[in-house]
A and B are shown apart, each in its own frame.
Chain A
Amino acid sequence: DAKTTQPPSMDCAEGRAANLPCNHSTISGNEYVYWYRQIHSQGPQYIIHGLKNNETNEMASLIITEDRKSSTLILPHATLRDTAVYYCIVRAASSNTGKLIFGQGTTLQVKP
């Protein structure tokens, strides 16, 4: 699976959009991009995933560049409860295991 690079930390003002970048320059054509978050030692929580098209759900939007070498997770109106570590993970659809490999992630601090 391709490696990902994320900034270690980011701040965001409450009510504003939080844009979390992820670089995955070695991604292959059949690899999905997943985003999870972990709120203060709770179990990681799935947010969204995508292959090549932009995706949106009730939690967030995922924007994937046309060359698929990077992506951005957007939380449209961040709240204090969105303070968490956000993980960007790449996994091949053809992988013979469903495991996810977590990196260090981005610690997002939402401030009042």
Chain B
Amino acid sequence: DSGVTQTPKHLITATGQRVTLRCSPRSGDLSVYWYQQSLDQGLQFLIQYYNGEERAKGNILERFSAQQFPDLHSELNLSSLELGDSALYFCASSPFWSGGAGELFFGEGSRLTVL
């Protein structure tokens, strides 16, 4: 158990809909990272937040947005969903914001299926 909690574990929805994925980081971790893993793309970095502020951005679509709240949990909002958005979405956390020599701790993911 990494200590990172993601909800929901599974989600099935229709095209055009909007969903919210939630992540609770390990106790004390200030950074949250979101990754997307689809069958043909591997693990893709989406975005990082540190203590409520956006820290780094990857290949995140404009239809997707994220935020980190004062209690440090984070939400990833996916809107106008398309079939291609079906994927596993992982959240990770770490106590630091930069490189250094530390590791990231990943949650078990949220599996999104868009029909």
A interface residues with partner B (beta carbon < 8 Å): 32, 34, 38, 41-46, 49, 51, 87, 91-105
Contact = CB atoms under 8 A, between A and B. Distances in A.
Interface stretch (B13-21, B71-79, B100-108): B100-108
16 contacts: A32-B99, A38-B43, A42-B109, A44-B92, A49-B101, A49-B103, A94-B99, A95-B99, A96-B99, A97-B56, A97-B99, A98-B55, A98-B99, A100-B45, A100-B104, A102-B45
A52 to B, nearest CB: 12
Interface of B: 2, 4, 31, 33, 35, 37, 42-43, 45, 48, 55-56, 58, 88, 90, 92, 94, 96-109, 111
Nearest to B47: A99
Given A41-B109, A98-B98, 20 more contacts: A32-B99, A34-B103, A42-B108, A43-B92, A44-B104, A45-B2, A45-B106, A49-B103, A51-B101, A91-B99, A93-B101, A94-B98, A95-B98, A96-B56, A97-B97, A97-B99, A98-B31, A98-B96, A102-B35, A102-B43
Contacts, number: 77
A45 B108 CA distance: 10
A101 B45 CA distance: 7
A44 B90 contact: yes
Looking at chain A's contact residues, is the secondary structure mostly helix, strand, loop, or mixed?
loop
A98 B48 contact: yes
